[in-house]
Structure 1
Amino acid sequence: MALGLLILVVILLTTACWLLQQHYSYWRRRGVPEIKPRWIVGNLMGLLNMRTSPPEFIAQLYNHPEAENEPVVGIHLFHKPGLLLRDPGLIRKIMVKDFAKFSNRYSNSDHKGDPLGSQNIFFLKNPAWKEVRLKLSPFFTSNRLKNMFPLIEEVGASLDAHLRQKPLHNERLRCFDIEAKELCALFTTDVISTVAFGVQANSFTDPNCEFRRHGRSVFEFTLLRAAEFTLVFFLPHWVPFFGFKVVPAESTRFLRKTINYVLDERERSGQIRNDLIDILIEFRRNTQQAKAKGVKDQFVFEGDILVAQAVLFFTAGFESSSSTMAFAMYELAKDADVQQRLREEIKEALVASGGQVTMKMIESLEYMQMILMEVLRMYPPLPFLDRECTSDDLYSLEPFHNFQVPHGMPVYIPCYALHMDPQHFPQPRKFQPERFSATNRKLHTPYTYMPFGLGPHGCIGERFGFLQAKVGLVSLLRNHLVTTSERTQRRMQLNPKAMITQAKGGIHLRLVRDPLGI
C-alpha cells in the first residue's frame, strides 16, 4: 500500500511539473520572444521582493536582454500570459487606432466589496466607462476651468499665507525645512474639496482633517497596501477572494456619507456652484426622470456610481498633482539656474497682471509648462498602463509580429521605461526642461511620452491637473526659494512598496524666505 501511495505521489508530481512546463512554454510554442519566467511567480519576482520600485521593475522588464530590439515581448503574471509593448508604433496601434478592441483596463477592484474603487471612471469597463466619461467631460471644458479658477487661486493664496506665517528655523538664513509631498498634498486636498464638493477642508490649519486623513490612507503604501495594489493591477480576478480594496473600508464610509450629504443638501437648497456636485446632481435627476417615464436600457446614475466618480476625482486629483509639484520642487532645489529662470518668469507675469494670479497669467508661463512636462517624464504618476483584449476574435499584431492576441489577454505599456529610454530622451536622468520647448517637442518620437495615458482612455483631468500644479508652484515661489537640506536625497529613490510613483521616505527640502517683490 505504501508503494502504491508513493507511485501515486510520483505520478501527481510528474503531471504537475509537466503541466507547469507546458504553461510556461506558452510563448515559446507561439514563437513570441519572452522574458524567461520563474515557476509560480512568473516574471513578477522583481515586484514581489520589493528590492526595486514598480517603475524601476517595469523598466527592468523593458530593458531585459531578451526584450532588446523587440517590438513586443511575452511575460507571465503568475499563471497568466501577458504582453509588454515596446515599439511606439505598436503602442499607437493598440492604444489609439484599435482602441475599440482594447477599451478596458485589465486592472480592477471588487465590484461588490469595493464599490467606490471599482465603479469609478478609472476602473469601469465598457459600456459603462464610455457613458460615464461622456457625462463627466463637460466638467473639464475651458469655461468650467475658468469658473473654478478663483477657487483654486484662493487656496493658492492660503498656501502662500501659510508659508509666510511659518516660524523660521534659522533667522539669519531666513529658512525653514518642509516635507514637500505632504505640504503639496495639503494644498491639493483643499483645492479638490472646494472645487469638486464645495467643502472647506482647511488642511493648512488642520493637517489631520478627515479629508486629508482619508486621502492619505488610500495612497499610504504599507506591505498590505502593496499586496492589494499588486493584485488589482496584475491579478484582478483574485481580488474578491482576499477582500482587498482600492478605497479602504473606513474611507469608503466617510466619503460616501460626506458626498451623499453634500449632494442632498445642494439639491435641497438649489444652489449652483458649477462644480462636480452640480454635474452629479444632473446625472441623478436625468436617471430619475427616465425611470418616471418608463425609459429602459438607460445607464443608471445613482448611489455608489455617483459617489465613486467624486471619490476618484478627489483621490486622483490630490495625489497626482501633489506628487508632480513635490518632484518639481525637488528638481528646482537641485538646479538653481532653472529655478531662477522660473522665478523671473513668474515675476514678469505678476508684474504684467498687476500682482494678481489670474488664469491668463498662469497660462502665460511657458517655462513652467516645460518644467512640469519634464517632471512628468521623469516621474509619471502611473509607471505603466494596462489594457485587456476585448475583441471577440483573435487580434493580429501584424506587421509587428504574427501573434494573434486572444480575448482577455492583458497588455502592458511601460510609460516610465519609455520616458527613461535614451533612444527617445537622451540623458534621461538629467533634468532638462528644454526638451519640451515648442521646437524640441516636435522632434520627440510619437507615443513615447504618456504621463496622462494615451488615446480615449487618457486622463480626463489633465488640464485641471496642470492648472492646479501651476497655481500651487506660483503661490509657493513668489515669496520663497527652494533649496536642498541635510535630509534631501542626493539621487531620488522611489518607494518600492508604492504602485504609483512615490519618493521613498518623502521629499525633504528647505524654503528660504525670498519675496519676488511684487
Structure 2
Amino acid sequence: MTLELLIFLVVLLTMVYGLLHRNYSYWQRLGVPEIKPNWLVGNLMALFKQKSFSEFIYQLYNHPDAENEPFVGIYVFHKPALFLKDPELLKNVLVRDFGKFRDRYANADEIRDPLGSQNIFFLKNPAWREVRMKLTPFFTGNKLKNMFPLIEEVGASLGAHLHQQPLQDEHGFDLEVKELCALFTTDVISTVAFGVRANSFKDPNGEFRRHGRSIFQFSLLRQVGFTLIMFLPHLVSYFRFKVIPAVDARFFRNTFNYVLEERERSGQTRNDLIDILIEFRRSTQQAKASGNKNQLVFEGDILVAQAGFFFTAGFESSSTTMALAMYELARDADVQQRLRDEIKEALEESNGQVTFQMIESLEYLQMILYEVLRIYPPLAFMDRECNSDEAYPLAPFSKMRVPKGMPVYIPCYALHLDPKFFAQPMKFQPERFSAENRKSHTPYSYMPFGVGPRGCIGERLAYLQAKVGLVNVFRNHRITTSEHTPDRLQLDNKSILLQVKGGIPLRLIRDPLGV
C-alpha cells in the first residue's frame, strides 16, 4: 500500500467517523435525555437480536436512561426520533395537536404496492382525511346493528363446527384455538368487507383463509421489510418490499372487482362495506360529471385497498384477541364461570337468541376483552411524523422543539404493562375495567386501538365480532388447559403484530348452558 493511499484511507475514515459522531450526538447537543445508540442501527439492536417488536418497545420504555423521563431521544438507524412516555404528552401529540402530527411516519411503496400504500392505515393527508370521513358511517352503532345478522350467521357456524368435533373421551376434545378463531374471523370479515361467504369451517384451506394466512406468515424477509416500513420508509421503494404480496393483492383485486360489478348489476344491498365503497365510486363519477377536479378519485385500487385492509386487519387481530381470551379464561376457572353465568342470564332474557342487544349487554365479557387487549395489544407501538411547518414546542416538558419530518413513537404495549398505571400488570384481572375502576385509570395510558382522530376506525366491529365468537363457544363449552398448553406464551419475534408462536392448544369440554 502506497503512502498516498494510506493517507487517503485515514482521511476518509476520519471523515466518516466525524459524520457518524456528529449524527449520533444530536440529542446530546440539544441537552435531551437519550438512550445510547449503536452506530448504524441506532436503538434498533434488540430487533436484530431476535426480540419481538413488543419486547423491543418494552426494553426501550424501561431502559435505565429513560427512567422517570416524559420522553427520550432515540435513533432509528441513523435518524433521530422521539420516544414518548408521559400520558399528558401523548394526549398533546395524538389529540390536542393532532393537526401537527396527522400522518404516520411509516409508509409503503406507492408505486408497486397500491393496496398497501392506499389503505386508511398508511394513507397520508389530505387523502386520509377524506377516506376516513367517508368510511366512518360504516362503523356507526346503527350500521353495526344492521350488519349483525351477517356476523351472527358466522357465529352459528362456529357453534355448529364445534358441535361436530369428535370427543376424544367422554368429556371433550383438544383444539388449537388460534386457528379456530382465525376461521371464524376470516368468515366474518369476508362477508362484511367483501360480501362473500368464505365457508372456512367447511374448507379451512379456502382462498380467503389461504391468502390471509399467507399475509401474516412472517419470514425473516418480511420482518426486514416491515422494519424498513416502520423505521426507514424512504428506502422501501428501493427494496421493492410489499405489505400485500403480489399474489394476495391479485386475489383481493379480482374478488373485489367481481363482487362490485355483480352488486351494481343486481342492485342488491347487504349492509356491508361493498355498499359503502359503491357509494364512494358513485361520488367520484358524479364529481367528474359536474366538472369537479379537486375531489379524490375513488376508483380502482383505492377502493380495493380499503376492503383488503379491513380483511387483513380485521381477521388477524380479532382472532388473536379471541384466542388469548380463551387462553386466559382456561387458566382462571372463576373468571370463566362468571362469564358463563353472564352469558346464560343474557340468553334467558333473549329467549336463547344471540341478538345485537344481548351481545351489547355483556358487560363482563367487555371487561375481559379490555383486559386481554391491555396485556396483548395487537400493535406494540404507534408512530407519527411531525407535519408542522413551525417546529413543535414540547413545553412544559422541555425547551426542545420538534422539527418537521421527525418521527415520534408511542409505546402502547409498555404503557399497558407499567405498574404506575396498572398494578400487578402481568396478572389477568378483568375487574380493572369495571365502570367504577375505569374512573381511576390515568387517561392515555391505555390505547389498544390507538386514540385520537387516527385511532382504529374498526374498534367497535372488532369488539362485536369477538364477543359473538366467544358467546358461541362458551354457551356450549367450558375450556381448560391441556397437557400441551404452555405455561408462558412465546411471542413471534418476526411479526409486526403481536402473535403467539406455535399456536394456543386448549381443551374444550362439552357443557351446554341449557338455554
TM-score by length of 2: 0.99
Q: Look up the match of 1:151.
A: 150
Q: Look up the match of 1:6.
A: 6
Deviation at 1:196, TM superposition (A): 2.1
Please give the secondary structure, in 2, of the residue aligned with 1:509. Answer: strand
Are positions 1:210 and 2:207 aligned together?
yes
Q: Look up the match of 1:99.
A: 98
- For residues 29-75 of structure 1, give each alpha carbon's deviation from its aligned partner in whole angstroms, at most 9, with x where no partner exists: 0111000000101000101221x211111010000000000001000
Number of aligned residue pairs: give it.
515
Q: Look up the match of 2:451.
A: 454
Moved more, 11-20 or 489-498: 489-498
Are positions 1:304 and 2:301 aligned together?
yes
Deviation at 1:287, TM superposition (A): 0.5
Q: Look up the match of 2:271.
A: 274
> Which amino acid letter does the alignment assign opposite residue 162 of structure 2?
L
Deviation at 1:510, TM superposition (A): 1.2
Q: Look up the match of 1:64.
A: 63
Q: Look up the match of 1:515.
A: 512
Q: Which runs of 5+ in 1 are unaligned?
A: none
Out of 178, 181, 189, the position equivalent to 2:186 is 189
Deviation at 1:373, TM superposition (A): 0.1
> Which amino acid letter does the alignment assign opposite residue 428 of structure 1?
P
Are positions 1:478 and 2:478 aligned together?
no
CA distance in 1 between partners of 2:53 and 2:287 (Å)? 45
* Identity across matched positions, percent: 71
> Which amino acid letter does the alignment assign opposite residue 82 of structure 2?
L
Q: Look up the match of 1:498.
A: 495
Are positions 1:175 and 2:166 aligned together?
no
Q: Look up the match of 2:38.
A: 38
CA distance in 2 between partners of 1:208 and 1:125 (Å)? 35
CA distance in 2 between partners of 1:232 and 1:505 (Å)? 26
CA distance in 2 between partners of 1:78 and 1:151 (Å)? 46
Q: Look up the match of 1:395.
A: 392
CA distance in 2 between partners of 1:403 and 1:375 (Å)? 37
Deviation at 1:492, TM superposition (A): 2.0
Please give the secondary structure, in 2, of the residue aligned with 1:510. Answer: strand
CA distance in 2 between partners of 1:179 and 1:392 (Å)? 51
CA distance in 1 between partners of 2:45 and 2:175 (Å)? 35
CA distance in 2 between partners of 1:415 and 1:17 (Å)? 35
Deviation at 1:320, TM superposition (A): 1.2
> Which amino acid letter does the alignment assign opposite residue 118 of structure 1?
S
Q: Look up the match of 1:17.
A: 17
CA distance in 2 between partners of 1:441 and 1:180 (Å)? 30
Deviation at 1:474, TM superposition (A): 0.1
Q: Look up the match of 1:286.
A: 283
Moved more, 500-509 or 128-137: 500-509
> Which amino acid letter does the alignment assign opposite residue 44 of structure 2?
L
- For residues 2-42 of structure 1, give each alpha carbon's deviation from its aligned partner in whole angstroms, at most 9, with x where no partner exists: 11011000100011011101000010001110000001010
> Which amino acid letter does the alignment assign opposite residue 47 of structure 2?
L
The 5-angstrom pairing of residues 310-349 of structure 1 reads: 310-349=307-346
> Which amino acid letter does the alignment assign opposite residue 19 of structure 1?
L
CA distance in 1 between partners of 2:405 and 2:348 (Å)? 56
Q: Look up the match of 1:241.
A: 238
Q: Look up the match of 2:87.
A: 88
Please give the secondary structure, in 2, of the residue aligned with 1:108. Answer: coil
- For residues 233-284 of structure 1, give each alpha carbon's deviation from its aligned partner in whole angstroms, at most 9, with x where no partner exists: 1111111111111111100000001001111111111111121111111111
CA distance in 2 between partners of 1:446 and 1:435 (Å)? 14
Deviation at 1:509, TM superposition (A): 1.0
The CA RMSD over aligned residues, in Å, is 0.8
> Which amino acid letter does the alignment assign opposite residue 30 of structure 2?
R
Q: Look up the match of 1:364.
A: 361
Q: Look up the match of 2:162.
A: 163
Q: Which runs of 5+ in 2 are unaligned?
A: none
Q: Look up the match of 2:406.
A: 409
Please give the secondary structure, in 2, of the residue aligned with 1:207. Answer: coil
> Which amino acid letter does the alignment assign opposite residue 266 of structure 1?
R
Please give the secondary structure, in 2, of the residue aligned with 1:176. Answer: strand
Please give the secondary structure, in 1, of the residue aligned with 2:440. Answer: coil
CA distance in 1 between partners of 2:82 and 2:504 (Å)? 34
Please give the secondary structure, in 2, of the residue aligned with 1:252. Answer: helix
CA distance in 1 between partners of 2:49 and 2:228 (Å)? 14
Moved more, 329-338 or 176-185: 176-185
CA distance in 1 between partners of 2:92 and 2:303 (Å)? 33
Please give the secondary structure, in 2, of the residue aligned with 1:511. Answer: strand
> Which amino acid letter does the alignment assign opposite residue 16 of structure 1?
V
Please give the secondary structure, in 2, of the residue aligned with 1:457. Answer: coil
Q: Look up the match of 1:123.
A: 122
> Which amino acid letter does the alignment assign opposite residue 515 of structure 1?
P
Please give the secondary structure, in 1, of the residue aligned with 2:66. Answer: coil
CA distance in 1 between partners of 2:68 and 2:496 (Å)? 27
- For residues 108-145 of structure 1, give each alpha carbon's deviation from its aligned partner in whole angstroms, at most 9, with x where no partner exists: 11011110011000000000000000000010111111
- For residues 294-346 of structure 1, give each alpha carbon's deviation from its aligned partner in whole angstroms, at most 9, with x where no partner exists: 11211110010000000011111111111110110010011111001101110
CA distance in 2 between partners of 1:177 and 1:248 (Å)? 34
Out of 432, 436, 442, the position equivalent to 1:435 is 432
Please give the secondary structure, in 1, of the residue aligned with 2:453. Answer: helix
CA distance in 2 between partners of 1:195 and 1:46 (Å)? 39
Please give the secondary structure, in 1, of the residue aligned with 2:353. Answer: coil
CA distance in 1 between partners of 2:362 and 2:291 (Å)? 52
Moved more, 1-10 or 401-410: 1-10
Please give the secondary structure, in 1, of the residue aligned with 2:352. Answer: coil
Out of 259, 264, 272, the position equivalent to 2:261 is 264
CA distance in 1 between partners of 2:245 and 2:175 (Å)? 28
Deviation at 1:436, TM superposition (A): 0.1
CA distance in 1 between partners of 2:82 and 2:162 (Å)? 47
Please give the secondary structure, in 2, of the residue aligned with 1:456. Answer: coil
Moved more, 288-297 or 456-465: 288-297
CA distance in 1 between partners of 2:231 and 2:479 (Å)? 39
Out of 352, 356, 376, the position equivalent to 1:379 is 376
CA distance in 2 between partners of 1:320 and 1:481 (Å)? 23
CA distance in 1 between partners of 2:307 and 2:192 (Å)? 11
Please give the secondary structure, in 2, of the residue aligned with 1:40. Answer: coil
> Which amino acid letter does the alignment assign opposite residue 93 of structure 1?
N
> Which amino acid letter does the alignment assign opposite residue 63 of structure 1?
N
TM-score by length of 1: 0.98
CA distance in 1 between partners of 2:156 and 2:124 (Å)? 40
Question: Which of structure 1's runs of 4+ aligned residues deviate more than 2 A?
Answer: none
Please give the secondary structure, in 2, of the residue aligned with 1:66. Answer: helix
